């Protein structure tokens, strides 16, 4: 099986997260909802050495996506209960994954709680896309607004660290990219 993130796709991932590839050099990276990708391998092809741990809730995807000479360690895990110590990741990414499995505000809050907990002070959290989070069939504008307010309120209550925008584009309509301060 070939990795889903190709050199061209890696460029897209870096662009949508508003991250220069240099921030990955020597970093511990958690790829939440990694699926079949080999982010570490794609970074290594570019000469960037990072320790990448890909977490995914789908045991079958993890089992089927082990690559020879991979630079990504794959771990089956509940993304609302990561098997990682506090403040152990320099970068936590979620690319196209959150909207695929989060079916309730509690799961979204659990995800953000774990992601915030895992990021080191000075580290980066980046989630794409955010516009799809909490939009389900039969939603109305009112239910979407209510759900987003509930999620925002609950995430704010987590209170794990203080955060600042990483770049002027850190709070685009589709991407959240912040540094823990």
107 within domain boundaries? yes
Handedness of CA 167, 88, 113, 59 (dihedral sign): positive
Identify the pLDDT of residue 109: 81
pLDDT band at 52 (very low <50, low <70, confident <90, very high): very high
Question: Rounded mean pLDDT of the chain?
Answer: 77
Distance CA 74, CA 61 (A): 10
76 within domain boundaries? yes
User: Considering the entire predicted model, what is its pTM?
Assistant: 0.80
156 within domain boundaries? yes
Residue 79, phi then psi, degrees to nearest 5: -75, -5
Identify the pLDDT of residue 69: 53
Q: Could you tell me if 10 and 39 are in contact, meaning their C-beta atoms sit under 8 angstroms apart?
A: yes
98 within domain boundaries? yes
Q: What percentage of the chain's residues is helix, strand, coil (to nearest 5)?
A: 35, 25, 40
CATH code at position 163: 3.40.50.150
pLDDT band at 77 (very low <50, low <70, confident <90, very high): very high
Distance CA 105, CA 120 (A): 25
1 within domain boundaries? no
Question: Where in the chain does DSSP place strands (E)?
Answer: 28-32, 51-56, 72-76, 89-95, 119-128, 163-165, 176-180
Identify the pLDDT of residue 96: 80
Q: How many domains does the chain have?
A: 1
118 within domain boundaries? yes
Distance CA 65, CA 51 (A): 17
- Of 170, 130, 128, the C-alpha closest to 13 is 128
Is the pLDDT score of 81 beyond 80?
A: yes
Q: Which domain holds residue 45?
A: 7-180
Identify the pLDDT of residue 13: 74
Could you read off the pLDDT of 111-166 as tens digits, one per residue? 888 988 999 999 988 887 665 554 556 777 777 666 666 665 665 666 666 666 66
Q: 165 in helix, strand or coil?
A: strand
Could you read off the pLDDT of 13-27 as tens digits, one per residue? 777 777 888 899 999
- Dmax over CA atoms of the chain, in Å, equals 49
52 within domain boundaries? yes
- Name which residue leads in pLDDT, 110 or 7: 110
165 within domain boundaries? yes
Is the pLDDT score of 108 beyond 60?
A: yes
């Amino acid at each position: 099986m070939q990795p889903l993130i190709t050199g061209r796709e890696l460029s897209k991932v870096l662009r949508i997260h508003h991250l220069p590839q240099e921030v990955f050099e020597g970093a511990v990276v958690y790829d939440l909802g990694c699926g079949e990708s080999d982010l570490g391998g794609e970074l290594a092809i570019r000469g960037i050495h990072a320790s990448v741990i890909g977490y995914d809730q789908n045991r079958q995807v993890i089992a089927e996506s082990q690559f020879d000479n991979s630079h990504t360690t794959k771990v089956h895990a509940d993304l609302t209960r990561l098997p990682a110590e506090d403040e152990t990741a320099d970068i936590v990414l979620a690319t196209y994954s959150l909207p695929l499995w989060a079916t309730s505000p509690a799961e979204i809050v659990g995800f953000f709680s774990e992601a915030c907990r895992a990021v080191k002070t000075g580290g980066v959290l980046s989630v794409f896309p955010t516009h799809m989070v909490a939009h389900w069939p039969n939603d109305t504008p009112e239910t979407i607004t209510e759900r987003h307010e509930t999620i925002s309120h609950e995430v704010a209550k987590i209170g794990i660290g203080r955060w600042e925008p990483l770049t002027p584009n850190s709070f685009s309509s589709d991407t959240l990219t912040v540094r823990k301060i």
